[in-house]
A and B are shown apart, each in its own frame.
Chain A
C-alpha cells in the first residue's frame, strides 16, 4: 500500500511539473493562478506545522514539541540555516523528554 502511494504521489508531482513546461505560458502566468498556487503552499505548510506540533492521534496535545517549535522559530528569525533549525528542534524536544524522565 505504501509503495502504491509513493509511486502515485511521485507520478502526480512529476505530471504537475511537466504540465508547467507544456501548457501555454500565459494561462499559468495569470495573476489568479500565481496567487493561489503561492498561497496554497503557505496554507498547507502552516497546517502541517501545527498538526505536526500540537496534535497526536486525532487529539490536540501540548508537549515538548511546542517548546521545540518555539526555539526553531527564534532560530529562523535569527536567520539560522535550515539544518541548524531542524537539529535544534530535535535537541530541545529530546532534552525536555530526557529531563521529564
Chain B
C-alpha cells in the first residue's frame, strides 16, 4: 500500500496575519483613493488589479494556501482557471456576435 503524500502541517504566526491585515487595509484605502483620480479606462483596470492583489493575499495567507500541499494549490489554480474560462468565453461569445451593443 503506498503512503499518502506527506505534507507538514504549518502553524502560521499571528505576526504574519497582522502584516497581511495591515496590507489589506492599506490597499483598501489605495483603491478608494485611486478611484478619485482621472485615469480614463484604466480606473477599472487599477481597481480590479488592487482587488486581485487583496484576494491573493487572503488566499495565500489567511486561507493558508502558501503553506498547503500541492493538491490544495492545484485545486485553487484549477478554480481560478475555470473562472477565467467562464468570463473570457462568455465575453468572446457576446463580442463576436451582433447582439447587444458590440
Chain B binds chain A: no
Residues in chain B within 8 A of chain A (CB atoms): none
Chain A residues within CB distance 8 Å of chain B: none
